[in-house]
Every structure is written in C-alpha cells, then in structure tokens.
Amino acid sequence: MADKSTDPAALWQTMLGEMEKGFNAFASQAMASPEFSKVMNQAGSAGAGAQRQFGDMMEKYLLSLNLPSRAQMVDIGGRLQSIETQLSEIRALLRQSGGAPDDIEASATAPRPPRTKRPPSPEGTST
C-alpha cells in the first residue's frame, strides 16, 4: 500500500477536510452576527415581495385572457364541494321521506315505449 505522506488521494482528502473545517468555522462566526440575520431577513422579505408581485401580475394576465386564476379555481372547487354536500343531504332526506325513488339514475334509463307513429314516406303516403 502507498505511504500516507506521498499518497495524492490522502493529501487531497486532508486538504479538503481542513478547508471544510475552516469554512464551517467562518460560516458559524458569520451566522452568529446580527448583521447576517438582518441581511437574511431583508432577502427573505424581498423574495416574498417579489413573489406577491409576480402573483398579482399573473392574475392580471389571466384576467386579460379571460381565464380564472388559481385562487378563483380553488374558490370554485370549494363551492362545488358545498353544492355536492347539499345535494347528498337532499337525496338522503328524500329517501327518508319516501318522496323519491331509490334509484333515480335507473328511472332515467328506463326502456321507452315503441314508436308506432312513422314519419311520412317520400311519396307522401303513410304506411
């Protein structure tokens, strides 16, 4: 096996380890300062402001295209869920009172009576 003092990989690992320790010490010292906290707070608030402006711009753009925004779609979804809940409650009440058939969907697909009246033939005589 190669000697640790002449092995380039071992020297590289040692150098990287020392650089990492130095960087960690520097970063810990920098993060402890109140200036760092102030700068990070300003960067976070600037990012939030930019995100809010982008959202407003997208909402105006979608409005100009006559398309709903995400907030409007979420609102529509909530309203639709409320309507579906109310319909379920109405169906349950109708079933309890006996005022509606149990299989509402089945009555819509019931067989139709046969057609006995025929359209007039092209000659004008009926058959």
Query: What 8-state DSSP symbol labels residue 5?
Result: T
Contacts of 94 (CB under 8 A, 6+ apart): 100
What residues in the chain have per-residue pLDDT under 50? Answer: none
How close are the terminal C-alpha atoms of the chain, in Å?
Answer: 107
Predicted pLDDT of residue 86 = 97
- Among 72, 42, 44, smallest CA distance to 59 is for 72
**Tokens 């379920």 — which residue?**
88
Predicted pLDDT of residue 37 = 83
Predicted pLDDT of residue 79 = 97
Predicted pLDDT of residue 122 = 81
- What dihedral angle (degrees, nearest 10) is formed by the CA atoms of 60, 66, 72, 77? -160
How do residues 50-85 score in pLDDT, each as one tens digit?
A: 999 998 999 899 889 999 888 889 999 999 999 999
